[in-house]
Structure 1
Amino acid sequence: MPGKVRAFCPGHISGYFKPVFTGDPATTGSLGAGVVIDEGVTVVATPDRSPAVRIVRKDLHGTILESRDGSAPVESLMEKMGVGSRIVTECHLPIGAGFGLSAAALMASALALNALHDLGLSRRECAGLAHETEVLHRTGLGDVAACQAGGRDCRTGPGIPGEIHRDRDADLHLVAVTFSALPSPTVLTSAESLERITRAFPGRCPGSPEEFFTLSRQFAEASGLITPPVRKALSLCDAKEIPASMTMLGNGVFAMGDRAGKVLSGLGEAFSLGVAGEGVRILEVQE
């Protein structure tokens, strides 16, 4: 058994989505469009007799901004995989802010645990376990599927088996700002919210980054999810004719282009993001 496995999974910003509930976590998921971003979650897995999880968020200089012990989804994943290990997750972006970090943590953990314990699971099987865990804990519906590869994604089928169209858009630059956490379970367990979201879903894939932002903004407006600070940020972007929408699901805004940084930085810490060139992957196996 290796002494340590390190894995990375990119995060994901969803612009619009439609939940699909089948009664089976494997085929439950969402349709929709988003962007796989170059920031995400790094996981370090080491052998341990019992499951232990530590979540750490650092700034770009390595200073710890927040940390806590325990993660019900990751612990549930370990139980599902039948292993006990110590997992440390690290990220730079805020947690619970619509960046798909719960999915990234689960997917990177599944891949790392598979390698650490030599379980012999395929990447698709690891993704299936991570997706089912996310669905059961209501932390997301489509992010695990999206982060299997990079690019701007459009999911036309739910779950890991669902078809995903990807545009590589390597030059697409995004800027995001977040105001507070908006826990996904709050929305994903509300029948009223889910009904509005379903009605707002545009039902097609965007043909360009510009159309992606147009459809995302229309969805945000019709879904009823826009909060007062998000409305303020969107209005400022509108005044400068900067394409922008709400991060789904998160109390924040993402916008397109370099000019967005100047506008959004006045409202909080602005995160500069690129499009991920690849998806989840093992970074290191140490004997």
Structure 2
Amino acid sequence: MNKSVFVPGHITGFFNIENHDVSLKNGSCGVGFLLSKGVRTTISPADKLIIDVNQGDETVIDEVLNILEIDDSFKITQDIQLPIGAGFGTSAASAFSLTLAINEFLDLGYSEELCGQIAHMSEINLGGGLGDVIAQTGQGLVLRTKSGAPGIGEIKSFRQDVFVAYKTFSSINTADIIRDSHHKQILSEAGLKYLELFEKEPTVENFLSFSNKFSNETKLMSDDVKNLVDYFNSSSDILGSSMAMLGNTVFAFAYDEDVFKKLDIDDLHICELNNMGIVYD
């Protein structure tokens, strides 16, 4: 019998890096949001291990299987619905949905929390996102108040009914940035400042404003990203816009979907903020 699990994509607006000797405590604090698109992993019976991924390679899958120490025979099908390496948390969603689906298929009896810790460990080992997995256990707008894997870190969720538009220009190697001492210092100092301000008044408007200020102060925006962010922010019908961390991607919020549909922007995608979180099929 097939087992399928969907984990939403996650975009971070601003963050600071938290390094610890214990890998499961490694991560980041910050604020981001969940998307109605993400990664769906389906495990089905097979007489050998078969991996079918619609985009990208099998690196994340191999890492999760290595951590789980599983050599059973089954088919892994992954539908990655968002661009890879562009700030959507796809590697985390891939690792998390895979771990959850295998847990269901093999009836391992692991808690969702433990599955999240395995996915977080995969992220740390591969040098990927630092806070996507724990954020993906939430709904809507997600504040990460304590770094680490699920069960170790802490989050607060704020459900919001808004539409999200996004456009990706290219990918960014997250590992190159978060492992660079200069970038880490700049990101963490700015991230901590806006994190403290957001915790005092956690609103959508503040999230968008602080995200835009953070992306400008950290100087990670390409010209293409900055031009589109400025264009979105010039419209009174759009709540705000910024850069996805870490990806060469622009996102914007609006209460009315038609605001985005009327824009003449190539490759602009529209979806809703995800207030449901993880879904088991």
TM-score by length of 2: 0.89
Quick check: 1:37–1:150 contact (8 Å CA) kept in 2?
A: no
Letter in structure 2 aligned against 1:126: C
Aligned pair in 2 of structure 1 residues 272, 195: CA closer, same or farther (>3 Å)?
A: same
The structure whose residues are more often helix, as a share, is: 2
Aligned pair in 2 of structure 1 residues 52, 194: CA closer, same or farther (>3 Å)?
A: farther
Partner of 2:220: 225
Partner of 1:4: 2
Partner of 2:207: 212
Quick check: 2:260–2:270 contact (8 Å CA) kept in 1?
A: no
Give, in whole Å, the separation in 1 of the partners of 2:187 and 2:13.
12
Superposition pairs of residues 1-287 of structure 1, within 5 angstroms: 3-47=1-45, 52-56=50-54, 67-68=55-56, 70-84=57-71, 85-159=74-148, 160=150, 161-169=152-160, 171-201=161-191, 202-204=194-196, 205=199, 206-241=201-236, 242=238, 243-257=240-254, 258=257, 259-263=259-263, 265-266=264-265, 268-283=266-281
Deviations 1:191-241 (A, max 9, x none): 221111012111323521111101111111111211111011012123324
Give the aligned CA root-mean-square deviation in angstroms: 1.8
Quick check: 1:37–1:275 contact (8 Å CA) kept in 2?
A: yes
Residue 177 of structure 1 and its aligned partner are, at CA, apart by 0.7
Aligned pair in 2 of structure 1 residues 50, 30: CA closer, same or farther (>3 Å)?
A: farther
Quick check: 1:52–1:86 contact (8 Å CA) kept in 2?
A: yes
Residue 92 of structure 1 and its aligned partner are, at CA, apart by 2.5
Quick check: 1:196–1:224 contact (8 Å CA) kept in 2?
A: no
Residue 188 of structure 1 and its aligned partner are, at CA, apart by 1.8
Secondary structure at the residue paired with 1:197? helix
Residue 4 of structure 1 and its aligned partner are, at CA, apart by 2.3
TM-score by length of 1: 0.87
Residue 111 of structure 1 and its aligned partner are, at CA, apart by 0.4
Would you say how many aligned residue pairs link Structure 1 and Structure 2?
267
Letter in structure 2 aligned against 1:247: A
Give, in whole Å, the separation in 2 of the partners of 1:220 and 1:9.
26
Moved more, 28-37 or 41-50: 41-50
Structure 1 stretches lacking a partner, 5+ long: 57-66
Structure 2 stretches lacking a partner, 5+ long: none
Quick check: 1:9–1:280 contact (8 Å CA) kept in 2?
A: yes
Quick check: 1:51–1:78 contact (8 Å CA) kept in 2?
A: no
Quick check: 2:28–2:146 contact (8 Å CA) kept in 1?
A: yes
Give, in whole Å, the separation in 2 of the partners of 1:47 and 1:24.
36
Residue 270 of structure 1 and its aligned partner are, at CA, apart by 1.1
Aligned pair in 2 of structure 1 residues 110, 34: CA closer, same or farther (>3 Å)?
A: same
